[in-house]
Amino acid sequence: MKNLISIILIIGFYAFPCSDLLDTDVKVLNEKQFRNLCEYKDHTILVVNTASKCGFTYQYEQLESLQRRFKDKKFTVLGFPSRNFLGQEFNDEEKVSEFCKSTFDVTFPLFSIANVQNSTKHPFYRKLFKLTLERPSWNFHKYLITPKGEIKSFSHRIDPEDDSIVSAIQDSISL
């Protein structure tokens, strides 16, 4: 009996490990459903606060390019539209979704409009801010989260296909 309990505990530990950071339910953009980010626990994740009406909006194209390039290697981009910086995002989630799909053919997951500043009540960003000192100072700030839980932060000024980001993704997915 003791051996059976030990086996169950070991299987449970390896079958269901998920960091506290990812063990978060977030609302899917323009839908009523929520998604638990543990779905991505074995992935290298690039978290980005996005905006549809920003000088950096062109980065959607590069984010989508990364998504398509590395998606079969357990990589995904997670987009969190935000109105924090000069309100450069639509108020309406349907408009955000339509813009992303029609303008950039975005296939990576997008979540509901989020507050990404220090005072946030957003459960994922609140947890993220406990783990890193870096905060978005503008739209398109990026956090690369490895399956081991390591977090690297990249300024909005660094394009998604910059060598520093691509190298970090490649290093993570090759482990």
Residue 52 CB coordination number (10 Å) = 18
pLDDT in tens, 120-135: 889 999 999 999 989 9
Kindly tell me if the per-residue pLDDT of 6 is higher than 50.
Answer: no
Strand partners, 124: none
- The whole-number average pLDDT for the span 72-91 is 97
Kindly tell me if the per-residue pLDDT of 2 is higher than 90.
Answer: no
pLDDT in tens, 40-71: 999 999 999 999 999 999 999 999 999 999 99
Order of strands across the sheet with 151-154?
A: 75-81, 44-50, 142-145, 151-154
Domain 18-173 has CATH 3.40.30.10: yes
Rounded CA-CA distance 21/132 in Å is 12
CB within 8 Å of 7: residues ≥ 6 apart: none
Kindly tell me if the per-residue pLDDT of 13 is higher than 80.
Answer: no
Phi, psi at 34, each rounded to 5°: -110, 155
Kindly tell me if the per-residue pLDDT of 138 is higher than 60.
Answer: yes
Do the beta carbons of residue 136 and residue 156 sit within 8 Å? yes
| Residue ranges of domains in the chain | 18-173
The percent of residues above 90 in pLDDT, for the chain, comes to 86
- The whole-number average pLDDT for the span 74-79 is 98
- The whole-number average pLDDT for the span 80-107 is 97
Rounded CA-CA distance 115/112 in Å is 10
Catalytic residues: 54
pLDDT in tens, 99-119: 999 999 999 999 999 999 988
Q: Chain-wide mean pLDDT for the chain?
A: 92
- The whole-number average pLDDT for the span 84-93 is 96
